[in-house]
Structure 1
């Protein structure tokens, strides 16, 4: 995410991180490099110039030249200004009405339908709501079928109507259906359109007037850069929407849309979407995004994702099994699935401070566990529960069944054994004391 921008900003700030003599000229050069990095990231020159002027003014006003750590102070100033550029504070989705009506709008191919499915899943699992998806795209072939598939994946019903119904009429009928069936959130997926298409723009306005949405969200493909920002402005002139959703942030995005859309349309970014998985949706936090763009990681979001997958009862059951040295491959599979539900691997690792830069040239497969899973699924139920019985002949059968080598099977068994010993050690008083000692040396841990 924003790897190119991150690299260029890091290079721009490098001068003030203890390399060479610090002077007002150096500050000016650094600011110039930051502006160039932003323009390269498809931020408009006007916004980039205003941003860097603010940075330079604050830098010189806070005596960066005379501080012991000028590079750190400069980085903090850039971070704070970048967070402000993206909105400063987190803007939550308004779901206070019953029913809450959420209208999804955007360009063709921006990822509206996929986002609608993700939002339904988010509201169901994290907000304990009873959502209804409404298929209002009557133009794109298979759009209704796509929404049905997504609804089935997340366990949310989809309201559809056959025939040549107008989207506004479908929306009204869906509203009546939702009220009759106890749905407290209604998500209206609409057809993708072009800002220059007056007919389609008039139609989305009719849908908006028909349902009087609690929230209208404009979905933006972040890979389109400054074009997305210009289109967002054109849509806002018609709809006056409440917030923006940035999709495809796991792609080769330069960051221009994320950095400038708030300034141009004066509307908050509410969600960011990465990947195709229904769980890959995050509330947008400007401070955390600034952290990630500047290579500081995003530990808070990483912990939140882990907590979402944490099952207290399952943890207690697992703890008892570990204490009895009964941790098996069935338990291991459950742990793998929890990690996979947290999101794609490169995105997760990028949340660890410093890891993003270290991993920038490494291609991490989103199916990083598929070979391990193949080996485990090739084991019989009794072998998964009792790995110690896996002898040479069983290894050959498992290797053949999984399409892997016997050496791969041996490596997994060895790693599993070592992990089991480590987990067992952590249950001992010595292991617990070691964790306490490590925690006392790390800020924020107790």
Structure 2
């Protein structure tokens, strides 16, 4: 019988990787709590119209990449390709915006039918923030600071912020006309994708990765030249806020982002940890999206980071600096203590002991092999635990357990760092295991 495999672009997260994801998610939750953000969880499956209206039918996401199908009720349904539209839909449906501004965050899987590659899968995961009902330029700087501080705290090195302003819809319409007119005169010099976008989504041509198109765009009209004075003033206020927060940035007039709902501030945060600049977080302001989805005009800004790409960056940072913050974060969790046991009576005693220690708050791994002590000690050292607890039939008979400092935690550990402790009162032993400090030799009774 043929062994079943996962679908292309759908990747299993194995236990070692899951531990790293949990560490990132835990730290992110701490940051969000400090910044007054509350978690929201939305369905993975939505009506297709949500993304067609919200993201834009002319975008690559809607036109080429969505997983869309008819359900048994003959409704067009789509696995969510991004999180913002779903969060806005939920806020409208449940009346959250009537309660005032909302600082929300989310995490979970998204789906796009793309060509799988390192850091990009067809099922991918994001952590995102959406601030609804906030309008000032300082809120733009503040939400960028949240992303910047989180990435720095995760241990991501080589951070760089690129920022641009897309102005108002009116600004972009003026610019679109100028850009299309300029590009139509040079259409034969554009790559195939850009030629197609010329009639559907010309601003996305500015984000082309094609070398010939990028060279051509060096002489193209600039969006800044079409911005109203109010848009330029707002952009300068955002940059001033970043200056006040001591967050370095580079203005990139070609940065447009890939979704139609963005306006005014657009930004990306990159890291050079993978050797070249890799985007780990992106976002911007989307003041028109709430209205597009049936609500009142509501200012909003947000960002999302991709977990797959972020984990690659963190692993590279850990390799570059084994003692750094990223290395500590991605390190697989180790038990507090490893229990070595051999013999029927000893195994019964170890079973009870492990449960008692776990109930005391300790992470305990028990060797279940029944193999020789030497082999069990090798596994104990590989576990990363600071201590081993040893029970043989002799110890079980005397109602004691031997405590041994492991070389995995202390390279200088030797036979002199062994002590016997009574099983009748585990409190002193628990204190030692929790503090991680081996006391002067004491023989239990």
Smaller-chain TM-score bracket:
under 0.3
Compare the two structures and name the one with the higher helix fraction: 1
Question: Which one has the largest radius of gyration?
Answer: 2
TM-score for the superposition, normalised by structure 2? 0.24
TM-score for the superposition, normalised by structure 1? 0.24
Compare the two structures and name the one with the higher strand fraction: 2
Higher relative contact order (CA 8 A, sep 6+): 1
